[in-house]
């Protein structure tokens, strides 16, 4: 993996590792070896970044969009944790 690709992967995993530090090793491992997991982490990263931008401007202009993003974040986290649980059992 290129230095740029590794740095991008680390940035994408950061939000998930901050949320689930007890699973940091398996998150890192799966993000390197599991394409579906890598895609889900990228989606999770994008959602977290959009939420952070909304929080930075304290925008209440679109509460429906914020709620939608929060639901998407929770759904992604649930799916990602199911994959990590399956990996931990093997």
**pLDDT of 28-78, one tens digit each?**
999 999 999 999 999 999 999 999 998 888 766 788 999 999 999 999 999
Are 79 and 40 within 8 A, CB to CB? yes
User: Rounded distance, CA 33 to CA 46, Å?
Assistant: 20
User: Rounded distance, CA 83 to CA 23, Å?
Assistant: 11
Better pLDDT: 6 or 77: 77
User: Rounded distance, CA 58 to CA 39, Å?
Assistant: 29
Count the Cβ atoms, other than its own, within 10 Å of residue 12. Answer: 21
Count the Cβ atoms, other than its own, within 10 Å of residue 44. Answer: 22
Count the Cβ atoms, other than its own, within 10 Å of residue 62. Answer: 11
**CA nearest 15: which of 35, 33, 42?**
42
**pLDDT at 43 (0 to 100):** 96
């Amino acid at each position: 993996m290129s230095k740029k690709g590794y740095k991008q992967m680390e940035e994408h995993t950061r939000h998930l590792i901050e949320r689930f530090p007890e699973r940091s090793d398996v998150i890192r491992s799966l993000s390197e070896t599991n394409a579906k997991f890598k895609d889900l982490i990228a989606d999770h990263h994008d959602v977290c970044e959009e939420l952070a931008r909304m929080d930075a401007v304290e925008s209440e202009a679109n509460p429906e969009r914020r709620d939608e993003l929060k639901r998407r974040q929770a759904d992604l986290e649930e799916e990602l944790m199911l994959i990590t649980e399956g990996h931990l059992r093997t």
